[in-house]
A and B are shown apart, each in its own frame.
Chain A
């Protein structure tokens, strides 16, 4: 184990995974919130777009989305997120696809959170003259976020682990380094152990954090 850590820059690779996960998480939260608002809006077309998004991206394997971003979007359509550097292009596409894919799950987590908010809260918000947007922003979403911290946490942890899928397009950082190490050193148990421990170090504290936050921030009724 020691020689893997000294011969390869495992830390840098995990730092790449962390960056990828942070970008993906940020994007997924933004996208998921937007899509949730669409699905909850009173406008039919918006609801329709929202459910189309969720059904499409939740049901498409992440590997396909990753491959599509490079084969379909970069090579066929010429959509490059970095024209100079293929690796950076792959990394950025990986972040985008992680965000797009997990955004669908964040949306559903938020919607389940909205269901924990009694209908009377929205009515009271409308009754004092808040617009749809204002009651979303000040009354519904803050409570929905608190009610959905646990499922949002699970989605983020899944996102971190799913970032390894980006290895298929070379944007997988830790996962890509693992393939390289296995190629050079053979598939020894210690190789898996190093990377498995790396991911546990990333996700275990997060899991504990989200559990305690969801308890601390729960809205008391």
Chain B
């Protein structure tokens, strides 16, 4: 494995009395795809959000490409630009067209020229299959299309790593695959990805490693094949039993 791109060391986080992240140690190498799986409330979203500092942590360190996450301010904004994030609820800018959603970051943060940003945005929209919707507004698109635009919006920033927090959980079943296909494509091209998802098909096809979380802790890590067929911990076996019998 190459040098780690994202490193979490002894990360702790509470929400009031609730210890949501306990002693989290995790390294993600360049080009690695890590799937985070675990019961609802186990801290998966909080982990993702801590990595681009949408949530602060109390102790421990998080570094991205060797840089420790700075305090809120210009420097943090710059660092966030290098970390793409795709949300469960898409969060496209509702008042902007699809094209403007994708070009806002490149123009305002990367200081690209509008024409150049638009050209690249159209290429990305083409790639995720929504180029013909470029002039529409988010509310006019299906969930699957919106999520693909959200991926294009992240990609437009040329991120070093992308975080996905249950990207397909809010989608109707028939739209899940169109989003997963885009993600598998990204993984194949060598994008570093941290993906919170229960889609085992995606994990098997694209992930190098599965991290199982429960009650704020990383309970077990393994290759997808090993994890799904031969989980070691009782927590993981119990959890897999529940999602498999669905």
Q: Which of A63-71, A116-124, A174-182, A192-200 contacts B (4 or more CB under 8 A)?
A: A116-124
Indicate whether A134 reaches chain B with its CB closer than 8 angstroms: yes
Which A164-221 residues have a C-beta within 8 angstroms of B? 219-221
Q: Is the CB of A124 within 8 A of B81?
A: no
Task: Using A138-B104, A139-B93, A221-B94 as known contacts, say yes or no to A131 and B139 having CB atoms under 8 A apart.
Answer: no
Which B89-143 residues have a C-beta within 8 angstroms of A? 89, 91-95, 104-105, 108-109, 137, 139-140
Indicate whether A2 reaches chain B with its CB closer than 8 angstroms: no
Which residues of chain B are within 8 angstroms of A219 by Cβ–Cβ distance? 94-95
Indicate whether B154 reaches chain A with its CB closer than 8 angstroms: yes
Q: Is the CB of A128 within 8 A of B154?
A: yes
Indicate whether B44 reaches chain A with its CB closer than 8 angstroms: no
Q: Is the CB of B95 within 8 A of A131?
A: no
Indicate whether B246 reaches chain A with its CB closer than 8 angstroms: no
Task: Using A42-B72, A123-B54, A220-B137 as known contacts, say yes or no to A128 and B157 having CB atoms under 8 A apart.
Answer: yes
Which residues of chain B are within 8 angstroms of A130 by Cβ–Cβ distance? 77, 104-105, 108-109
0/1 per residue, B78-90, Cβ < 8 Å to A?
Answer: 1111111101010
Which residues of chain A are within 8 angstroms of B217 by Cβ–Cβ distance? none
Which A58-77 residues have a C-beta within 8 angstroms of B? none
Chain A residues within 8 Å of chain B by Cβ, number: 23
Indicate whether A44 reaches chain B with its CB closer than 8 angstroms: no
Which residues of chain B are within 8 angstroms of A131 by Cβ–Cβ distance? 73-74, 77
Which residues of chain A are within 8 angstroms of B74 by Cβ–Cβ distance? 131
Question: Closest approach, in angstroms, between the C-beta of B22 and any C-beta of chain A?
Answer: 24
- Closest B residue to A128 by CB, please name it: B105
Task: Using A120-B87, A131-B74 as known contacts, say yes or no to A125 and B109 having CB atoms under 8 A apart.
Answer: no
Question: Closest approach, in angstroms, between the C-beta of B113 and any C-beta of chain A?
Answer: 17
Which residues of chain A are within 8 angstroms of B79 by Cβ–Cβ distance? 129
Q: Is the CB of A124 within 8 A of B91?
A: yes
- Closest B residue to A119 by CB, please name it: B91
Indicate whether B52 reaches chain A with its CB closer than 8 angstroms: yes
- Closest A residue to B140 by CB, please name it: A220
Q: Is the CB of B137 within 8 A of A121?
A: no
Task: Using A124-B92, A134-B108 as known contacts, say yes or no to A129 and B157 having CB atoms under 8 A apart.
Answer: yes
* Cα–Cα distance between A124 and B150 once the two chains are bound (Å): 9
* Cα–Cα distance between A27 and B94 once the two chains are bound (Å): 29
Indicate whether B153 reaches chain A with its CB closer than 8 angstroms: yes
- Closest A residue to B109 by CB, please name it: A129
Task: Using A128-B81, A128-B153, A129-B157 as known contacts, say yes or no to A120 and B105 having CB atoms under 8 A apart.
Answer: no
Q: Is the CB of B77 within 8 A of A220?
A: no
- Closest A residue to B100 by CB, please name it: A138
Which residues of chain B are within 8 angstroms of A142 by Cβ–Cβ distance? 95
Which B159-208 residues have a C-beta within 8 angstroms of A? none
Closest 5 A/B residue pairs (Cβ): A129-B81, A128-B105, A124-B91, A120-B91, A220-B139
Other than the given A127-B84, A139-B93, A219-B94, 12 more pairs (CB < 8 A) read A121-B93, A121-B94, A124-B91, A124-B92, A127-B87, A128-B153, A129-B77, A130-B105, A131-B73, A138-B93, A139-B104, A143-B95
